[in-house]
């Protein structure tokens, strides 16, 4: 995680400084939008309340997410501006390890931003980036918000959507897709409609899903076990309790 | 509050849409920085947890703040990029009603942003805007962060600092100034070092301080009473309890 910034991993504020650095680079590259910066701030506040760590129930969710991606017929990792800015190389690695497609999917869709994000993912090693065809539609959403690739999210049975808008998360769920959502607010609509809500910072979540995928790869029984033992409701309750009871300092 | 946006005050999301509109305008005008957008998002998350309302202890703090501004020898309202973007006319009105000076004071100081903010305040009716001389220094801060006007914050006995950085809030407190801080995180350093911590959204706080100032004006006994009865520690505890116990939905 340290290839692009001159910062020792032992630095006490390593993660937050790395995040800041990557978000700034994302703005410079036309990847992170104004709304993305505000969303980043909301995430920071929830992460602060969570204690800026991966709680046990989030680790369980990340293991279940890895299992879903591995056992899917067709898994897609959806990538928006903040996800691309924060974890570009980590998303490429996750897609490689799980065999998932990467698809750029923006709430405020412009061709320029989609191209900029696809370029950024390619610079970080992606060979095939979907999201540019936009020949499929998610039912129940207005025009621009509904666009997906027909052979990407349109055809997927499992979709990982980091930092997704509530309306779209709900519409994807109604299409019958298994939805893996990364969101720091345990009571957001996106988290509540998810098959697997992952209440964690994407900076920690994506590498940890990849690590679990490496561990679960080639072991269908262990994958099934990770899926069966994960309980979304209790994970959400646990995250909310942690936010409530954590030390604010 | 509705002069600059075509939105009925009865709209259920009036306040949040107005906020969004003003922040966007602030970015377009070079007033709101990238860091300001992220800070806005952090504030939104805490406000959501607070229930997006002025809790009773915050109203008490706003009344005490009004009393301090009125009874000061020399009060200054410090204005940064987000404060200017969110409540430009309301800050001008507060300064008028309390007799306080307005001083632009930025964490990431550039002459361009200071000029843009001063212009924006003047467009909203300010006649005298400090912060451009920068001939005073706050001890204990590095060069750019230490700059203030010698006859503004430098000479003030009471300073209202909305959305202030923790280091600077602490340094101002160490100068012996009575510090009134608006911050949505009750455990931020800024809130903890404040004489009067106001745990509320600046959009609601500034007009409410003005309303209390109108009520307290010309009544030194009532001002003293508002100051004496306010308890900073119990206000912080109350805000934290509200965040903990509020309904996340």
Classified as helix, coil or strand, B46 is helix
Q: Using CB atoms, which residue from B41, B187, B244 is nearest to A249?
A: B187
**Residue among A23, A42, A244 whose CB faces B42 most closely:** A42
- Pair A173, A24: CB distance under 8 Å: no
Euclidean distance between CA atoms A47 and B152, whole angstroms: 37
Which tokens in the block code for residue A235?
């994970």
Cβ–Cβ under 8 Å, residues B117 and B130: no
DSSP state of B51: T
| Preferred mutation among A32, A42, A188, A245 to probe B, highest tally of B CBs within 10 A | A42
Whether chain A has a CB inside 8 Å of the CB on B248: the answer is: yes
- Give residue A11's pLDDT band: very low, low, confident or very high (50, 70, 90): low
Pairs of residues, one from chain A and one from chain B, whose beta carbons lie less than 8 Å apart: 63
Quick one: average pLDDT of B135-151? 89
**pLDDT classification of A246: cutoffs 50, 70, 90:** low
CB contact under 8 A, B248 and A187: yes
Q: What is the pLDDT of residue B166?
A: 85
Confidence of residue A3 (pLDDT cuts 50, 70, 90): very low
Q: What is the pLDDT of residue B34?
A: 87
Sign of CA dihedral B29, B47, B108, B134: positive
Among A41, A186, A187, the residue with its CB nearest the CB of B42 is A41
A142 touches chain B (CB under 8 A): no
The model's pLDDT over A162-177, given as tens digits with 9 standing for 90+, comes to 988 888 899 999 999 9
Q: How far is B243 from chain A (nearest CA, A)?
A: 8
Mean pLDDT of A183-200: 95
Q: Does B42 touch chain A (CB under 8 A)?
A: yes
pLDDT by residue (tens digit) across B114-123?
999 999 999 9
Residues of B in contact with A240 (CB under 8 A): 248
Tell me which residue has tokens 């909301």.
A42
Task: Give the start-end residues of each E strand in B26-154.
Answer: 75-79, 101-104, 129-130, 136-137, 147-148
Rounded Cα distance, B144 and B32, in Å: 18
Q: Of the candidates A27, A40, A49, which has its C-beta nearest B41's C-beta?
A: A40
Determine the residue of chain A that is closest to B245 in CA distance.
A244
Q: Which residue of B lies nearest to A38 if distances are taken between CA atoms?
A: B41
Whether A23 has its CB under 8 Å from any CB of chain B: the answer is yes
Give the minimum alpha-carbon distance from A233 to chain B in angstroms, rounded to a whole number: 15
The DSSP line for A153-171 is GGG-SEEEEET--HHHHHH
Query: What pairing do the DSSP bridges indicate for beta strands A158-162 and A178-182?
Result: parallel
B82-95 pLDDT tens trace: 999 999 999 999 99
Quote the CA–CA distance of B123 and B133 in Å, as a whole number.
20
Residues A46 and A243: their CA atoms lie apart, in Å, by 8
Q: Phi, psi at residue B148, to the nearest 5°?
A: -145, 170
Q: List, in order of start, the domains of chain B with CATH numbers.
A: 56-244 (3.40.50.12640)
CB contact under 8 A, A186 and B248: yes
Measure B231 CA to nearest chain A CA, in Å.
Answer: 20
Say yes or no: A143 contacts chain B, CB-CB below 8 A. Answer: no
Give contacts of B189 with chain A, Cβ < 8 Å: none
Mean pLDDT of A30-43: 90
Q: Tell me, what's the ipTM?
A: 0.84
State the nearest Cα–Cα gap between A20 and chain B, in angstroms.
Answer: 9
Residues 49-108 on A with a CB inside 8 Å of B are 49
Interface of B with A in 163-202 (CB under 8 A): 185-187
Alpha-carbon gap: A67 to the closest alpha carbon of chain B (Å) = 30
pLDDT digits (tens, 9 = 90+) for B39-66: 899 999 999 889 999 999 999 999 999 9
A26 touches chain B (CB under 8 A): no
pTM for this one?
0.87
């Amino acid at each position: 995680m340290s290839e692009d910034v001159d910062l020792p991993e032992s630095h006490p504020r390593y993660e937050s400084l790395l995040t800041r650095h990557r978000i700034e680079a994302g703005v410079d590259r036309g990847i992170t939008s104004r709304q993305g910066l505000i969303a980043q701030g909301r995430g920071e506040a929830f992460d602060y309340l969570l204690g800026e760590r991966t709680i046990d129930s989030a680790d369980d969710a990340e293991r279940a997410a890895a299992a879903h991606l591995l056992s899917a017929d067709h898994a897609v990792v959806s990538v928006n501006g903040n996800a691309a800015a924060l974890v570009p190389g980590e998303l490429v690695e996750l897609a490689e390890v799980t065999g998932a497609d990467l698809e750029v999917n923006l709430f405020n869709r412009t061709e320029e931003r989609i191209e900029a994000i696809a370029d950024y993912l390619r610079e970080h090693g992606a060979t095939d980036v979907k999201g540019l065809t936009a020949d499929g539609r998610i039912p129940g959403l207005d025009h621009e918000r509904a666009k997906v690739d027909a052979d990407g999210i349109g055809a997927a049975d499992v979709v990982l959507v980091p930092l997704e808008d509530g309306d779209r998360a709900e519409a994807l769920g109604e299409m019958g897709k298994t939805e893996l959502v990364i969101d720091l607010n345990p009571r957001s609509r996106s988290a509540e409609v998810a098959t697997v809500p992952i209440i964690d910072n994407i900076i920690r979540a994506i590498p940890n899903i990849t690590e679990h995928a490496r561990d679960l790869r080639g072991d269908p029984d262990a994958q099934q076990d990770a899926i069966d033992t994960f309980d979304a409701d209790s994970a959400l309750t646990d995250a909310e309790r942690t936010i409530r009871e954590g030390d604010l300092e």
